[in-house]
Chain A
Amino acid sequence: MTNSQRHAVLTDRETELISEADLIRLAQADDTDAFCQLAERYARRIYLLAFHYCRNAQDAEDLSQEVWLKAYQSLTGFRCDASFYTWLRRITINTFLNHQRSRSFLRQGQTTIAQFLALDANTTSIPSDLASEKAIFNKVLFENVMNALAELTPSQRLIFLLRHYEGMSYEEIANAMNCSVGTAKKSVWRAIVKLRSRLEVVESPREETLAELATEH
């Protein structure tokens, strides 16, 4: 069955309902449309991870698309031992680390929230109406956080993002980054301390924090 024939079989409605396993199988049989369906499911997550890692919208686009290209080229080697996203995240981390070694990105400057919004100049999850007080606060906060992330080393930033954005365990991070669990923990701790000093978040101690901890415990 050729791609065009297969594509004719897969109508839009069917592709929406098709399972991830089926999409993977079709993509492994060199069906680009099926792979694009898979990419649409995870593209945002990969893009945002890349964006927070390299702090530049254009670099993030290039980097995330490189991840998808690599995934497409090595999809035949994917066995369903782990989930597709776990496999994809592994490729993402390797791609990031390769870029970190070659330093082929790191364009000058970083994307500000205004530039980020200007990607379409219409809507984002942050309200585009920057006149409102909340929007201005968000803008300032976003830029402060991006500046604070810039203070971290690429490795610290990646480990921090994997832990607190991706929600990976330290064992998973250590495996992916080829380091010890202790190193991963230290990196996260140093990242938090650096972020604190950069963001200067000083807040009166909140009783609810402890109460929250106690209940979780």
Chain B
Amino acid sequence: MTELLTEGAATPTHELLIELRCCSECREEFDALKNTLYVTTRTIESVAPPDEYWSDYHASLRRKLLASRAPAVTPSEPSWWARLFKTSVPVPVPVGLALVLLFAGALLYTSRASTTKQQQEPTVVRMPVEVPVIQERVVTRTVYRDRYRTVVLRTGSKVNDQSTLARSQKSDVVPATLIGFKPIEQIKLTVIKGGTGNEK
């Protein structure tokens, strides 16, 4: 039935026609759809605007066609900044003069202000600056050794070797006496001043 309706009456098969004759429901459905199609197409075809409408229609179409054919000769609009430069505003002469004078005075004032600023001497500002202090220390150590004892120890028995060595090491740490001792150099301490107040 779908084929019959969509394809039109040109292609109904013999079997389909027999089925439509036998099945009353199918026939009713088919008739309803066919009548729908008939009513719709006839109604669509029957409506048309009146003849008078067409004269206006063609006139407006002609106007549009002519307008589309003739390229619109519109001068390209200048940009806003070009317009800004070309635009003139009528101003009374006294007001114009006053504005010019005001502008000149403002220019003069600003130029003078800039020159006086340049002539001013540079001011020195003193302010404490924290600088890290690097301390350099040279320590000289004088070591005294009892040479004789060392020689004796070398010639002595091997059994007492370790104890002798320990004693000699002990004598290295604590010298017997400091009478007559004169250090070659003293501790040299270099202090870079200028740091914080606590440092010396």
Is the pairing of A and B real? yes
Specify the chain A residue showing the minimal Cβ separation from B43. A145
Q: Is A196 an interface residue (CB 8 A)?
A: yes
Contact at A30–B65, with CB atoms within 8 Å? no
CA distance in complex: A68, B63 (Å)? 12
Contact at A205–B69, with CB atoms within 8 Å? no
- The interface residues of chain A lying within 8 Å CB-to-CB of B44 are 48, 52, 145, 161, 164-165
Q: Is A26 an interface residue (CB 8 A)?
A: no
CA distance in complex: A47, B44 (Å)? 12
- The interface residues of chain B lying within 8 Å CB-to-CB of A113 are 47
Contact at B68–A72, with CB atoms within 8 Å? yes
Specify the chain B residue showing the minimal Cβ separation from A36. B62
| Residues in A198-217 with C-beta less than 8 Å from chain B | 199, 201-206, 209-210, 212-214, 216-217
In the complex, per-residue mask of B18-35: 1 if CB is within 8 Å of any chain A CB, else 0: 001100100110111111
With A120-B50, A124-B50, A164-B40 known to touch, is A36 a contact of B31 (CB < 8 Å)? no
CA distance in complex: A117, B24 (Å)? 42
- The interface residues of chain A lying within 8 Å CB-to-CB of B14 are 217
A-B contact count (CB 8 A): 147
- The interface residues of chain A lying within 8 Å CB-to-CB of B28 are 204-205
Contact at B36–A195, with CB atoms within 8 Å? yes
Contact at A32–B69, with CB atoms within 8 Å? yes
- The interface residues of chain A lying within 8 Å CB-to-CB of B2 are 185, 189
- The interface residues of chain B lying within 8 Å CB-to-CB of A52 are 44
- Out of A148, A185, A188, A201, which one reaches B32, CB within 8 Å? A201
CA distance in complex: A126, B49 (Å)? 9
Contact at B36–A196, with CB atoms within 8 Å? yes
Chain B contributes a number of interface residues (CB within 8 A of A) equal to: 48
- The interface residues of chain B lying within 8 Å CB-to-CB of A47 are 49, 57
- The interface residues of chain B lying within 8 Å CB-to-CB of A165 are 41, 44-45
CA distance in complex: A120, B47 (Å)? 14
CA distance in complex: A206, B21 (Å)? 11
| Residues in A58-110 with C-beta less than 8 Å from chain B | 61, 65, 68-69, 72-73
Q: Is A114 an interface residue (CB 8 A)?
A: no
Contact at A126–B46, with CB atoms within 8 Å? yes
Contact at A124–B47, with CB atoms within 8 Å? yes
Contact at B54–A44, with CB atoms within 8 Å? yes
Q: Is A193 an interface residue (CB 8 A)?
A: yes
Specify the chain A residue showing the minimal Cβ separation from B28. A205
With A69-B64, A195-B40, A205-B27 known to touch, is A40 a contact of B52 (CB < 8 Å)? no
In the complex, per-residue mask of B141-153: 1 if CB is within 8 Å of any chain A CB, else 0: 0000000000000
Contact at B36–A214, with CB atoms within 8 Å? no
- Out of B30, B40, B46, B60, which one reaches A138, CB within 8 Å? B46
Specify the chain B residue showing the minimal Cβ separation from A203. B35
| Residues in A143-198 with C-beta less than 8 Å from chain B | 145, 148-149, 161, 163-165, 170, 185, 188-189, 192-193, 195-196
CA distance in complex: A206, B53 (Å)? 40
In the complex, per-residue mask of A107-139: 1 if CB is within 8 Å of any chain B CB, else 0: 000000100100110111110000000000010
Q: Is A141 an interface residue (CB 8 A)?
A: yes
CA distance in complex: A189, B10 (Å)? 16
Q: Is A29 an interface residue (CB 8 A)?
A: no
Besides the known contacts A39-B61, A65-B60, A120-B52, 14 further A-B residue pairs in the complex with CB atoms under 8 A apart:
A32-B62, A36-B62, A40-B58, A44-B54, A69-B68, A119-B49, A122-B50, A124-B49, A125-B46, A148-B40, A195-B40, A205-B27, A205-B30, A213-B17
13 pairs from A and B in contact (CB 8 Å cutoff): A32-B65, A32-B66, A36-B58, A36-B61, A47-B49, A68-B61, A116-B49, A120-B50, A161-B44, A165-B44, A201-B39, A210-B17, A217-B9
